[in-house]
Structure 1
Amino acid sequence: MKRWQWAVRLLTRRMWFRAALFCVFAVALAMAGALLGHTISYDFAGKVGAKSVDNILNVLASSMLAVTTFSLTAMVSAYAGATSNITPRAVQLLIDDTTAQNALATFLGSFLFAVVGIIALSTGLYGETGRVILFAGTILVIALIVVTFLRWIEHITRFGRVGDTIERVEHAATQAVRAMAQRPRFGEKERRAVPSGATCIHHNGIGRITHVDTPQLAEVAKEIGGEITLSALPGTFVDPARVIAWTTVRLDDRQMRRIREAFTVSNNRAFDHDPRFGLVVLSEIGSRALSPAVNDPGTAIAVLEAGTRVLAAILRHDPEERDDPFPGVHVPAFAFPDLLEDLYRPLARDGSATVELGIRLQKSLAALAAIEPRARQDCMLEADDALARAQSQLASSTDADRLRTVHDRIRQHADR
């Protein structure tokens, strides 16, 4: 995805964007009567009875302002609840919710439509024939309000709840899997050393990489006749001392600037191209649920199951079929042990005294090992770590023996 396409995607997610579009549509619809009123005959205008549009617009103006205020209050309350009770990192998914944005845009645009219509009527801008078009526009707006309001009533009953937020994070992480350029790397962690004499590119900003313009990097690689190797993936924290890419070809200032500009750096991480961030947020939700103040292991188990589905999607990801190759650009793979640590390590630490979670965690890792044989060693190492943490925290020897039995059975099956 090009950088300008990424910028447009971010723009369309802003809450004011949809509201502004609907407001423009509402003003255009309200003024259509003044521009197209001459196309309606006086006889037809007299039969329709559009004189009642004044009262309808007054009702819309008074009611839509109250509904808009109520909707905005409900949305802010959901954001505040998610921040304090779930995790602040998941709030952005609630802000980007299209149903909530459409509802707010529809109610605000309807209010503006009614206000503009009342003003135009008071100035006599429409005339008898223009009222017919305004009347038809009012009926259309009312129909939109009814449909949107019914959807909003159903949506607001679960908007911002824990289960709803877990589903949103899981969906965002699964969508991010499609942006992965390669399948994950298994086995021990390794760092690819930068060759001696290579040209290293650093970024001037300080923050998290949220997007990499791979097509632009491919253009530069073609221009220099060499390969550009990325040293930082989306989600990586960068600063002027951090190498973000390197190449064995000498670069001029313009080429280095183009490579640097291909990396978008923001203050916060984003879900779109960073599946690790989705796993981190899921683990945060689970850790919050396991805190003594909440003590909700059921939510932690739901998080574990959601994270297992995300990791399964990563293991099944086939970039050769889904992603277009960019010659000349080498993108390193995510390390699968890091992905496992992002999800399981916090849950194993904070839920070490809960045998139900421990058993579910062991079975989750066994399911991943069954999907991809190359991941068995990584999964079993994580299972061993979780077992060791639980054995030192479980107060009941019966629970400890039960967890040990489950772990041994899973390990025997994985070693076959």
Structure 2
Amino acid sequence: MRENLLFHWNRIGEKLWVKPLLVSILSVAFAFVASLADQTDSVAWVPNISTESIEALLNLVTSSMLVIAMFAVGAMVTAYASASNSATPRAFSVVLADDTSQNALSIFIGVFIYGAVALVALKNDVYDHAGRFALFIVSVLVFALVILTFIRWMDSIARLGRMGNTIDKVEVAVANSFSVWWNQPRLGASPFSNQSSITGEPLALPKVGYLQRVDMATLQAVAAQHDLKIFLSVLPGKFCTPSNPVAQVQGLSPDNMQCLDELSSAFHLADQRTYDQDPRFGLVVLCEIACRALSPAVNDPGTAIDVVGTVTRLFHLWVRARQASTTEPLHDRIFAPDLREQDLFDDAFNGLARDGAGLVEVSIRLQKAFQAISGFGDNDLRDASIEHSQRALARNELSMTLPQDIEAVRNVARF
């Protein structure tokens, strides 16, 4: 249940209209909450605030907030376009989910609506002596909130959409997905290794798309109800078609074949991959950023080197999370394959090593990264590092024309 709520919450966080709508509703409520002060006995001690002074403050807020909100939208759209064009379109979702920008836009729109509603209410004598004082205090606090939000947002928008900021946001998303994976390895399922030996009723989905999420709780409940065992053939991030089963189901009989529809509902397909249950997706995005930076049109090897450092940190996090993971399988009737470190390396380094094979500075940094990752104390990562180091060196020997460059890379590649 918690995983389902978190998944849907993350999808809501990627919608730009949700927070402004909620803040707009709250702003209308705040405009009328001030009138409750008139129902108290505070009339005797609160100062008498003139209607004209409150009107001036509300007019200032109302006239400026709409302009600032439009400016904020324009700046955010520019930042989103920059992230998609300079990095990769797959990074757009993490940039769109930036809390600072969404909160700022929500406050600007909410304050505009608050000012308009409060001004109309004030002119129609909704507020009495104490109510006007409460409205004045709320308006001053709202005005201060706008100033602080605008200053904080200006610092954030100056970085939003820039290459370094986009890489940092993708790194955070990948780090979170790594942590989620090792908090519940294999999504909480029991392990199995020899997938080819598994027999059972194939479970295929009628749609085509990327597997975004698997509702493990539903699978476990249905399996327990019908005394089944479910062997997942795919993990989130896999492109699924009706011709490729997503699982093998053991224990089915003619009496409970109808439960296949319930099992199918636990697999959520969509047009795009997400970071939530798919640790490999973020590595693909980082590799795409590096490959675009290495393209002749951009020619920015520094960004590729930055990505290599980012991926190295992420693999260190992978090792630490794996060593700290002591979680027992949560779902005893569901079995799933492990993520292979070789696949993670393929996602992170194949394109980068190919496109950077002719650049000595990128190749040297890549070899140093393989050396560093091999020393993290994980045998699987060490094996993958050795294979990719040798493969990258072979690409260098085919792409580089200067013998001194090839020799410089060889001196660093010690495998």
Question: Aligned AA for 1:247?
Answer: V
Q: Is the 8 A contact 1:214 1:262 kept in 2?
A: yes
Question: Aligned AA for 2:365?
Answer: R
Q: Is the 8 A contact 1:50 1:135 kept in 2?
A: no
Q: 1:2 to 1:219 in 2, by over 3 A?
A: farther
Compare 199-208 and 219-228 and name the one that shifted more.
Answer: 219-228
TM-score calculated relative to the size of structure 2: 0.91
Name 2:352's counterpart in structure 1. Answer: 347
Name 1:122's counterpart in structure 2. Answer: 123
* Partner of residue 185 from structure 2, selected from 157, 182, 186: 182
Structure 1: how far apart are the matches of 2:257 and 2:74? 50
Q: Is the 8 A contact 2:198 2:248 kept in 1?
A: no
Structure 2: how far apart are the matches of 1:94 and 1:37? 45
Compare 361-370 and 28-37 and name the one that shifted more.
Answer: 28-37
* Partner of residue 364 from structure 1, selected from 361, 369, 388: 369
Name 2:158's counterpart in structure 1. Answer: 157
Q: 1:194 to 1:68 in 2, by over 3 A?
A: farther
Q: Is the 8 A contact 2:49 2:132 kept in 1?
A: no
Name 1:199's counterpart in structure 2. Answer: 201
Q: Is the 8 A contact 2:341 2:380 kept in 1?
A: no
Q: 1:170 to 1:5 in 2, by over 3 A?
A: closer
**Which residues in structure 2 correspond to 1:10-409 (within 5 Å)?**
10-39=11-40, 41-49=42-50, 51-180=52-181, 181-182=184-185, 192-193=195-196, 195-196=198-199, 198-250=200-252, 252-318=256-322, 320-321=325-326, 325-371=330-376, 372-407=378-413
Structure 2: how far apart are the matches of 1:396 and 1:243? 50
Question: Aligned AA for 1:76?
Answer: V
Structure 2: how far apart are the matches of 1:343 and 1:238? 22
Matched residue SS, 1:327: strand
Structure 2: how far apart are the matches of 1:135 and 1:40? 18
Q: 1:10 to 1:386 in 2, by over 3 A?
A: same
Q: Is the 8 A contact 2:49 2:136 kept in 1?
A: no
Give, in angstroms, the shift of residue 324 of structure 1.
Answer: 6.2
Instruction: List runs of 5+ in structure 2 lacking aligned partners.
Output: 187-192
Structure 1: how far apart are the matches of 2:347 and 2:26? 45
Instruction: List runs of 5+ in structure 1 lacking aligned partners.
Output: 184-189, 412-416
Structure 1: how far apart are the matches of 2:194 and 2:350? 22
TM-score calculated relative to the size of structure 1: 0.91
Identity %: 34
Structure 1 residue runs of 4+, over 4 Å off? 48-51
Q: Is the 8 A contact 2:375 2:382 kept in 1?
A: yes
Q: Is the 8 A contact 1:173 1:275 kept in 2?
A: yes
Structure 1: how far apart are the matches of 2:258 and 2:10? 27
Structure 2: how far apart are the matches of 1:93 and 1:378? 28
The size of the alignment, in residue pairs, is 403
Structure 1: how far apart are the matches of 2:328 and 2:298? 42
Give, in angstroms, the shift of residue 253 of structure 1.
Answer: 4.5
Give, in angstroms, the shift of residue 8 of structure 1.
Answer: 3.5
Question: Aligned AA for 1:331?
Answer: A
Question: Aligned AA for 2:381?
Answer: A
Q: 1:202 to 1:115 in 2, by over 3 A?
A: same
Structure 1: how far apart are the matches of 2:6 and 2:365? 41
CA RMSD of aligned residues (A): 2.1
